[in-house]
């Protein structure tokens, strides 16, 4: 009887140890999914912004008002600055075509975009207005945010 009791205690300690390892492994896998989903969301939005011209083309019939001007319709944004201040969350992520989609299993995620003039890369003498830095930030429910940053420039710079 005593031997059975000792065996039960040893077995219980082993099960608790294994359960802790399994729980930690599960949490790490969930965090990896969260980082992957947040990165995917950031890249998607940065690719959309990258498809826009640096500034409003001369051939454009009008300068569309961007997000900060109250226009949520990204399909008519005509330059990268129109995305400044843009924000959404995974409960209602809207595609460029205006379709609202739920996203992610580890969310919710909040996305935001900041477009600023400059910085001028080292070795360039062009003014800061010839450069724009776009930062897409995706805030995860737990852990650090995922940030993607890209510098855009006018295509006619000489140096």
pLDDT of 14 reads: 84
pLDDT band of 21, cuts 50, 70, 90: confident
Band of pLDDT at residue 158, cut at 50, 70 and 90 = low
**18 vs 32: CA distance, rounded Å:** 21
Q: What is the mean pLDDT of residues 3-13?
A: 86
Q: Is residue 84 classed exposed, middle or buried when 0-12, 13-18 and 19+ CB atoms within 10 A define those classes?
A: middle
Q: Distance between CA atoms of 133 and 151, rounded to whole angstroms?
A: 4
Is residue 88 over pLDDT 60?
Answer: yes
Q: Which of 27-31, 68-72, 109-113, 128-132 has the lowest mean pLDDT?
A: 27-31
Instruction: Indicate the pTM of the whole model.
Output: 0.76
CA distance 97 to 156: 31
Q: What is the pLDDT of residue 135?
A: 96
When the pLDDT of each residue in the chain is averaged and rounded to a whole number, the result is 83
Q: What is the pLDDT of residues 34-55, one digit of tens each?
A: 888 889 989 999 999 999 988 8
Q: What is the pLDDT of residue 72?
A: 86
The domain ranges of the chain are 2-153
How far is residue 157's CA from residue 40's CA, in Å, rounded to a whole number?
A: 31
Over residues 105-140, the pLDDT tens digits come to 767 889 999 999 877 777 777 777 888 999 999 998
pLDDT at 82 over 60: yes
Report the pLDDT value the prediction gives residue 150, as an integer from 0 to 100: 93
């Amino acid at each position: 009887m005593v031997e059975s009791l000792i065996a039960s205690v040893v077995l219980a300690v082993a099960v608790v140890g294994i359960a802790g390892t399994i729980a930690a492994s599960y949490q790490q896998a969930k965090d990896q999914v969260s980082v992957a989903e947040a990165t995917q969301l950031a890249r998607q939005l940065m690719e959309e912004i990258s498809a826009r011209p640096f500034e409003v083309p001369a051939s454009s019939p009008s300068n569309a008002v961007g997000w900060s001007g109250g226009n949520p319709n990204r399909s008519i944004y005509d330059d990268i600055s129109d995305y400044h201040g843009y924000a959404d969350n995974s409960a209602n992520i809207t595609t460029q075509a205006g379709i609202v989609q739920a996203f992610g299993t580890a969310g919710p995620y909040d996305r935001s975009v900041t477009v600023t003039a400059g910085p001028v890369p080292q070795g360039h003498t062009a003014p800061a207005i010839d450069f724009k830095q776009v930062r897409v930030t995706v805030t995860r429910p737990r852990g650090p945010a995922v940030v993607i940053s890209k510098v855009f420039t006018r295509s006619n710079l000489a140096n």
